[in-house]
Amino acid sequence: MSQEIKPGEVLLELEDVSLSFGGVRAIKNVGFNIKRGEIRAIIGPNGAGKTSMLNVINGFYHPQEGTITYKGVHRKNMRPYVAATQGIARTFQNVALFKGMSTLDNIMSGRTLKMHRNFLWQMLYYGPARREEMQHRERVEHVIDFLEIAHIRRTPVGRLPYGLQKRVELARALAMEPELLLLDEPMAGMNLEEKEDMSRYILEVNDEFGMTIALIEHDISVVMDLSDRIVVLDHGEKIADGTPAEVSADQDVIDAYLGVAH
């Protein structure tokens, strides 16, 4: 069904996407693509439609117009569940962890789609079901080691400080072993040190696992350092698209960020 995409080829292509709520148009005819293996940033002032864009990509919002091509397959929209099965994972602007569960269980939840043992085995928690659980536990422990959160394994996530919650959320997304990772403001509300840690993790994920990343971030210096290409949105419209150097030289972008005398 979906074809294999090699590094450097287009993984996700959005064409002419428009999204509105009632009379409000959140996204107006936006089109851009994400290539396999790159870090793609979406930036823009508040209310530019960045989060809505991610919501469209992973099927939470269904655009009224436009098409999305993911791994060579056209689609108008899809259910979030289908997006998950197709290898799209994400983190959220306001941490969306499972508050009642421990760090370990939260990250294990990322393995849901990879686990297949049926109800009967689960009931007995024996043989294949237990072996499966343990295999996945091992994968999860790798992620835990990688993100250095072993000490909070058993802590309910509700009790963790914000910076760690963000990290657990990243861990949960990584546990899904996605092909496309969407990060919605992964560094919001973090101090400098935490931001540096997070940047390091993002780069490592991209380098070592070759994971494609699309991220929204407000800290322009972080974005300029991290990303390969940047798309700039303002009031739901695309105003620039290119490498960090190109974008930072773009007059429309400067106007959008600094304001312009009318």
Partner 1 sequence: METLYNIFIDPFVQMFGAPDFLMQVLWEGFVSGTLYALIALGFVLIFKASGVFNFAQGIMVVFAALTLVGLYSLGMPAYVALVLTIGVMGLLAVSVERLVMRKLVNQPDIILFMATIGLTYFLIGLGEFIFGGEPKKMIADELGLPGGSMDFEVFGGVLILENRDIAAAVIAAVLVAALWFFFSKTRIGRALRAVADDHQAALSVGISLNQIWAIVWFAAGIVALATGILWGAKSEVSFALQVVALKALPVLILGGFTSIPGAIVGGMIIGLGEKLFEIYWGGLMGGGVESWFAYVIALIFLLFRPQGLFGEKIIERI
Partner 2 sequence: MFYRETGQYKTSYEADSSIFPILQDRIGIALMLIVAFVVIPLAGNDFFLSSIMIPFLIFALAAIGLNILTGYTGQISLGTGAFMGVGAYACYKLTTYFPDVNIVLLILCSGFFSAFIGMLFGLPSLRIKGFYLIVTTLAAQFFLEWAFIRVGWLYNYNDSGAIEVPERTGFGLVLTGPSATPTTRYMVVLCLVVAMTWVASNLIRGRIGRSWMMIRDMDIAAELMGVRPLYAKLSAFAVSSFYTGVAGAMMVFFWLGAAEVESFDVNESFSILFMVILGGLGSLMGSFMGAAFIWILPVLLRLIPESFGIDISVATLEHINFMIVGALIIFFLIVEPHGLARLWKIAKEKLRTWPFPYA
Question: In 3-state terms, what secondary structure has residue 157?
Answer: helix
Site membership for partner 2, residue 113 (CB under 8 A): yes
Site membership for partner 2, residue 188 (CB under 8 A): no
Listed residue (35, 34, 39, 32) closest to 16, CA to CA: 32
User: Residue 212 is encoded by which pair of tokens?
Assistant: 């494609």
Site membership for partner 1, residue 92 (CB under 8 A): yes
Cα–Cα distance measured from residue 257 to residue 261, given in angstroms and rounded to the nearest whole number: 12
Single out the residue of 6, 75, 76, 99 in contact with partner 2 (rule: CB under 8 A).
99
Listed residue (31, 28, 39) closest to 69, CA to CA: 31
Nearer to partner 2, 101 or 188 (CB): 101
- Give the DSSP H or E segment for 260: none
Single out the residue of 60, 98, 121, 257 in contact with partner 1 (rule: CB under 8 A).
60
Phi-psi region of 8 (alpha: psi -120 to 50; beta: other; left: phi over 0): left
Instruction: State which of positions 199-258 bind partner 2 (CB under 8 A).
Output: none
Single out the residue of 73, 82, 96, 245 in contact with partner 1 (rule: CB under 8 A).
96
- Residue 26 near which of partner 2, partner 1, none (CB within 5-8 Å, type-dependent): none
Cβ burial of 168 (10 Å; 0-12, 13-18, 19+) is buried
Instruction: State which of positions 143-182 bind partner 1 (CB under 8 A).
Output: none
Site membership for partner 1, residue 98 (CB under 8 A): no
Long-range contacts of 122-129 (CB under 8 A, 24+ apart): none
At closest approach, how far in Å is the CB of 99 from partner 1? Answer: 10
Instruction: State which of positions 122-141 bind partner 2 (CB under 8 A).
Output: 122-125, 129-130, 133-134, 137-138, 141
Residues in the chain: 262
> Interface with partner 1 by CB under 8 A: which residues?
21, 55, 60, 92-94, 96
